[in-house]
């Protein structure tokens, strides 16, 4: 347990909210939680911690965030699923201001450790053209050809963390998240990722009796998906470790989008007619996490099976959808 203040930036978001909850469960009480969104839009909110709604793209706001901080988790970014990333490249790039200003403020405040949430979107696109993908090793980020916009911002911010560590002695740690999902996440509105989107579409078909589903792309594109509990465990372990290089943090359980739909249909006990939108954003053809390094360094890797996590996610989204009118789906 930290003996000083823990700051969670992006704490009103999906991963950040779960991280704050986990820190509270561990007995942490000196927690500062920060997000740009108004409080009523936070995914989870805990009155027993310090909650601030401020814009971390601004240096003064980052100084407020870092004041008296012992540990900073930077999970803050303007992001979403592939539909958002492909259509909002400039907004994604502007998140570079958050990490840059937070690093500056962390250095000024003498922060002990700083965690940066990077992404598998940093990886070279040439290595992700085949659905039968070879799992991505950390070294595959270079030569650089990341996801346009969002991926470039993440790769640049990784380097900024490295140089603040090398030049100024700030203990920075970096994890490359691979498709995190779970309850209390975005499930509608355009920023949701594939697991939540598929759960919503299947539930909608079940509730309305219209037994069909639209799938973005041809359904053959492959991914791995990491349940939120594995993400929390890996994030905190990497922060506390002596590993200075960016590490993959993702499941190595590879599935196609068609297989993802199969699993959710099985959970819902339904079969749907599939319609493929080949013009929709679908991202790279194949991406999976090579966990060789994290197993070597930490003797651990994410291990929660996709079906197990999807059952919990499906149940939560079902509850959300049944408590609001269909017009808000």
Please identify every residue annotated as catalytic. Answer: 150
C-alpha to C-alpha distance for 27 and 78, rounded to whole angstroms: 30
- What is d(CA 2, CA 6) in angstroms, rounded to the nearest whole number? 7
Token pair in block for residue 40? 């009523």
How far, in Å, are 28, 58, 118, 131, 289 from residue 134 at the CA level? 40, 40, 20, 9, 9
Q: In whole angstroms, what is the distance from residue 287 CA to residue 16 CA?
A: 24
* Spatial CA neighbour of 73 closest among 240, 186, 225, 205: 240
Half-sphere CA count of 64, side-chain side, radius 13 A: 17
């Amino acid at each position: 347990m930290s003996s000083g203040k823990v700051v969670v930036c992006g704490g009103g978001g999906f991963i950040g909210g779960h991280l704050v909850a986990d820190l509270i469960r561990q007995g942490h009480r000196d927690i500062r939680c920060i997000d740009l969104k108004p409080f009523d839009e936070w995914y989870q909110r805990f009155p027993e911690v310090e909650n601030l709604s401020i814009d971390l793209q601004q240096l003064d706001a980052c100084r407020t965030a870092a004041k008296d901080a012992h540990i900073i988790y930077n999970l803050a970014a303007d992001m979403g699923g592939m539909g958002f990333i492909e259509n909002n490249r400039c907004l994604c790039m502007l998140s570079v201001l958050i990490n840059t200003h937070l690093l500056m403020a962390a250095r000024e405040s003498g922060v002990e450790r700083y965690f940066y949430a990077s992404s598998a979107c940093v990886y070279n696109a040439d290595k992700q053209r085949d659905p039968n993908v070879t799992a991505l090793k950390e070294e595959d980020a270079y030569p650089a050809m990341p996801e346009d916009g969002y991926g470039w911002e993440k790769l640049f911010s990784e380097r900024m963390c490295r140089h603040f560590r090398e030049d100024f002695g700030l203990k920075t740690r970096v994890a490359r998240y691979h498709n995190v999902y779970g309850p209390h996440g975005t499930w509608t509105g355009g920023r949701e990722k594939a697991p939540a989107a598929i759960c919503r579409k299947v539930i909608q078909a079940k509730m309305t009796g219209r037994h069909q589903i639209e799938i973005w792309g041809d359904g053959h594109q492959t991914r791995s998906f990491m349940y939120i509990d594995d993400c929390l465990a890996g994030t905190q372990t990497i922060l506390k470790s002596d590993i200075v290089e960016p590490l993959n943090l993702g499941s190595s359980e590879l599935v196609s989008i068609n297989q993802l739909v199969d699993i959710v249909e099985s959970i819902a006990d339904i079969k749907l007619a599939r319609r493929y939108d080949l013009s929709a954003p679908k991202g790279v053809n194949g991406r999976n996490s090579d966990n060789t390094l994290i197993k070597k360094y930490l003797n651990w890797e994410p291990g929660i099976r996709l079906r197990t996590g999807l059952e919990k996610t499906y149940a939560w989204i079902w509850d959300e959808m049944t408590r609001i009118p269909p017009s808000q789906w």
